[in-house]
Chains A and B, each alone.
Chain A
Amino acid sequence: MGINLLPVRYGHYEGHTDICFSDDGDKLLSCGADGEVRIWNGFDDDDPLQNCIGEFALCIKHKGEHIFVGTNTNLVQQLTYPNGDRNGILTRFTAHVNHMYISEAHNWIALASEDMTVKVMEISTKETKTFTINGPPLSVSLCKNLKNLAVSCGDGKLKIFNIEDQSLIKEISVVAKANSFENAKELCRIDFDQKYNKYFAYPDGNKISILNISDWNEAFTLSTDAIDSNYSLVCFSPCGNYVAASTLDGNIAVWLLRSQTIVGFEKQSDIAITSLAWNPKGNGELAFADAQGNVGMATNCTETGADEDDGDIPDEEGAIEEQNYESENIDFGDVQIEAEDDDEDNENAVSLEKLKKEIMGPLEPELEAIEAAASRSPSPRARSVTPEIPLQPAFMPSSTPEHLDPRYMCYNEVGIIRCYGCNLDDDDDGTRSIEVEFHDSQIHSSMMIRNYKGYTMGSISTAALAVANNTVIHVVPLGSSSEEWHLVLEDDEEIVCIAASHNLICLATANYFVHVSTIFGIQKAVISVPGPILTMSAIGMVLIIAYHSTSTRKGDQCVETMLVKFEGTTIENRDMKVALKPGSKLQWLGFTDVGTPAMMDSTGMVYLHPLQCNLWIPFCDTKKHHKSPSDGFFMTAIYESLGTIRGIRCKGSLYPGFTPRPTLTEIEFQPPFLEIGTGKSQYESSLFTMSTLQIEGMEKKYQEIALKSFALAMKNNLEKRAVEFMEMLGNPQLLNLAVKYASKFDKRRLVEKLMDVASKIDADADPPTFNGSSVSTPSTNVIKPNKKLLLESTSKILNKSKSQVSTPTQGTPSSSMINNTPSTSIISTPGNITLSDISILQDEPKNPFLKSLKKTQTSAFNPLSLTDKFAGIEKENDSVKSEKRKQPDSSPSEKNKEKQRKLDRFMFSKRN
């Protein structure tokens, strides 16, 4: 009994049709000229799974979890197996893929494209080798050990390459010439023997030539007298013992390789066969498809051969078994690995399997085998290739994304640039506009600009407004708006980011260049940045540029910054790394008001880079101030001198809306110390903040918090900590206070220890270790508090406090004014002027009655001070004055009565 040809069935439209078996041989996969991929659950399946993936599909192959299909869209589409859902793209070409070849033995795929290239690609890693040929390739094949690649080409040549060094090993002129795949009559499908890696077969007219791989000489030819038409396709059986071939007129023939005898041949119709595929199960099934779109199946292709030659049976069976076993093994491993991988990839997923395994120990091997088999057949989930995390694209700090309309181009400490209609088409440019508003109207009044050129970037400073699109930057100096200027870039350059400061206008291009100009348009410098520019910001003469130093590292963006100073005509640079949280992106970059570089990452953490420390310090976690996790904080500015971050809290989004007008809020610095909920950590974190930053007027606060901290340690009987604390601060003034405080609580040992520390500090020859005043002195940009005023008022207070301390009564309002701190109790020690004036100093700016207080002090006696609550307070025991003080209580009531009387009279008179 020869080959049994089952009746063909309709598969696809008329045209080139391709067919292959799934790896396990259970399913048939076909694709055709209708662009559909069909997954047949066996040849008898009347309702195949189908998925349309394009206008036409030329080739299909299956490996593991993926089906690969070459489509009209010039790409190799990946589909999941067995569901047939789209699952990414393997690779792209500039023309459609004519043929591909996957060997069972390894994970490489050969792809032949009409654009005259052949790629050999590792499927998972996408490692690729590209071969260029001189005509449209018709067919490719890979040998088992990945040494050789054979390509049949429309220029008439069959070429065999060495994959390793891409050298041409042999060239045979055997192929019928064709100018394209569509026009080729003979497809010249070639095949390597995948079992023994011994032979290479190609169709050669009306015979099949078999080459020896070892020396590339012809071993023998196969032919039969019954068929005289030209062969077009050749295919080795998976067991390696048979060769199937088909002709242009629909003949299918099978030979036994060993004896070179024909097993059988059959003719379906006169239609050319376009695809042949052996069932990998080795059960003698041979699937084919023809140019009419029909799908056919031939069975029994091997058994007759076995009948003829008895010796083959055990051999072959063994081979088949071995193969099955192998494939099972491979699949088994795959499935297991996938399951584990999945769990590891997704830590949050609770895997029942994993739990079971952990609790019950490993499953018995039989069970495992069953499980593996079971999990293979239904739907092994496609392992999605984790997408590479791309480099963060360039952005402008404090701007909202470009797809929004209207959007904020810039929202910084100086003003707001709003952009309307930026997403409209070009012909609508009449409605595109830019609106500039200044927070401080004294800098400049609001502006409105028509956005004819479609500017997308904007930056605003106290001296200039800069807007830019990809090729032009337009600058409006605020000092004299008539001196507007613009710069046009050359064709090959593109602006990615701009920055304006009081002195500089900077623009970064896609060529990693940064051009620097002055406010009125003198080009000052051009510098080159060692990487793709991410963002930049400028203050005064200083520019900070963030760039990608390398590609991403496991999802982390590798960003570095340059701090460049353009003083006069000189340039100075300082490189700084950027410390971002894992997996986060840079969201804001800028400076504080005193010029410290600052940034915020996408987790909402704000970092400052104090130049004397030369490192990034996290200063505020804006996420902690959110009510819900979806809220965002849109940062606009940092005020180091005030110790606050200014921005907009956005409910449920990352970016602020337009109506209602968003309101700015302030968030105070609070470094993320551990256990921040406790008072101790809060004191410590604010001490840390004040000692590293230049916060305005913080000397008193610093001392207050330091003493609080000290007192806390002392009260909890942690003397060592208290001493250590004072040692750490090393501030003699504070130490003095601490000693007094401790002695008041009768902590003799502590006092002794503190004295030791004091003498040590004194011995260190009063080096200006940290203290409050030394920090607030540097930096020119700090808004200096009005020293004169401060001094004046403190001296007045001082006078008062002296007098007060000397009075025996301590329950005066002035002491209640002092904060309820431990240090206040020190005040009761008479004569301790330094201490009391410090504590009063602390409270001085908060006292809302300061002015009136002073007034009563300066004017000796003011009878008109009826409204002043504290009139006469300093001599409360003075009965005369206290009487005076009562007076205001009585007089208004009298007044009221009189008023009432007047009113009554008024009313009556009206009546009358």
Chain B
Amino acid sequence: MDPDVLEFLAEKQRVNIIPTINSNVIHLISGDVGPFRAGLPVQVPLWMAVNLKQQQKCKIQAPDWMDVDVLETIKDREKVSRNFIKMPSEHYMVEAKLLLSAAPDDIPRTDEIRTIIKDIWDMRMSKLRASVDSMMKESGSYAAVDNLTIMEINSIRPILPHALDQLYRLKKAARMHGSTQSQNTTTFNSRLTITPFKS
């Protein structure tokens, strides 16, 4: 999956907006939204919030966690903890990106928030890479990682499973070493570049 798809998924997340229009209930496949009463907060999907904001038809209320102080504590905890800590939102990166770009005037201290979220992201990614690295070095074949968000998982998605896959095959090949060369020639061929290191 690529980030666009994830963004699409994240757009189902609900956020609070203050509409500046009056409108009846909007019936959608995923459920009803509204009614919209000017000035009164209402919950809508993220994509609709962004869309309405672009049309200047609402003000977006930042989610509770999108606050400098809250994020600062999350960042500190993330720094101290060896493991990943639970993020306030499964799609925090997408939400932050969309909301901060769509409604910088509705959310106070956008720049700081953006920086902190980026920091958190970097921290988590380096943590993730480090743990993958150690796993590889210790030639472990599996590891349990909690509290990763889908975007983070996705960032190591193509490379890690494939790397593990390759390792597995190499190991398998090594185990078979000595016996007759294996069945799958294509695989074997494709591994040819790597095998010298291993054997």
Contacts and interface: CB of A to CB of B under 8 A. Distances in A.
The binding surface of chain A is classed by DSSP as loop
Contacts of A413: 39
Contacts of B38: 438-441
B40 A664 contact: yes
Nearest to A445: B56
B79 interface: no
B22 interface: yes
B69 to A, nearest CB: 12
A786 B21 CA distance: 18
A659 interface: yes
Contacts of A786: 24
Contacts of B24: 786
Contact of A663 (B18, B108, B190): B18
A912 B22 CA distance: 56
A912 B192 CA distance: 13
B61 A438 contact: no
A907 interface: yes
A565 B1 CA distance: 66
A446 to B, nearest CB: 10
Contact of A907 (B61, B108, B162): B162
The binding surface of chain B is classed by DSSP as loop
Interface stretch (B25-33, B86-94, B131-139, B140-148): B25-33
Contacts of A892: none
Contacts of B59: 661
Nearest to A907: B158
B154 interface: no
Contacts of A907: 158, 162
Given A439-B39, A440-B38, A441-B56, A848 B158 contact: no
Interface string A435-474: 0001111100000000000000000000000000000000
Contacts of A852: 29
B114 interface: no
A441 B18 CA distance: 12
Contacts of B27: 848, 850-851
Most chain A CB atoms below 10 A, which of B20, B21, B190: B20
A907 B21 CA distance: 47
A786 B24 CA distance: 10
A180 to B, nearest CB: 66
B39 A441 contact: no
A850 B22 CA distance: 22
Interface string A156-191: 000000000000000000000000000000000000
B31 A848 contact: yes
Interface string A836-851: 0000000000001011
Nearest to B56: A441
A646 interface: yes
A664 B39 contact: yes
Interface in A311-335: none
B45 interface: no
Nearest to B67: A660
Contacts of A910: 158
B41 interface: yes
Nearest to A446: B20
Given A664-B39, A850-B27, A441 B61 contact: no
A322 B193 CA distance: 129
A145 interface: no
A666 interface: yes
B14 interface: no
A871 to B, nearest CB: 13
B31 A440 contact: no
B127 interface: no
A867 interface: yes
A513 B21 CA distance: 38
Most chain A CB atoms below 10 A, which of B31, B39, B162: B39
Interface in B20-65: 20-22, 24, 27, 29, 31-32, 38-41, 56-57, 59, 61
A910 B190 CA distance: 13
Nearest to A786: B24
Nearest to B59: A661
Interface string A891-912: 0000000000000000100111
Contact of B41 (A438, A441, A663): A663
A663 B162 CA distance: 50
B41 to A, nearest CB: 5
A607 B190 CA distance: 82
B87 to A, nearest CB: 22
Contact of A439 (B20, B61, B108, B162): B20
B162 A660 contact: no
Contacts of A661: 59
Nearest to B22: A440
Given A439-B39, A440-B38, A907-B162, A663 B29 contact: no
A440 B21 CA distance: 5
Nearest to B16: A663
A442 B31 contact: no
Interface in A635-666: 646, 659-661, 663-664, 666
Contacts of A659: 108
Contacts of A851: 27
B20 A441 contact: yes
B56 A848 contact: no
30 contacts: A413-B39, A438-B20, A438-B38, A439-B39, A440-B20, A440-B21, A440-B38, A440-B39, A441-B21, A441-B38, A441-B56, A441-B57, A442-B20, A442-B21, A442-B22, A646-B39, A659-B108, A663-B18, A663-B61, A664-B18, A664-B40, A666-B40, A848-B31, A848-B32, A850-B27, A851-B27, A867-B29, A910-B158, A911-B162, A912-B190
Interface of B: 18, 20-22, 24, 27, 29, 31-32, 38-41, 56-57, 59, 61, 108, 158, 162, 190
Given A438-B20, A852-B29, 7 more contacts: A440-B38, A440-B39, A663-B41, A664-B39, A848-B27, A848-B31, A850-B27
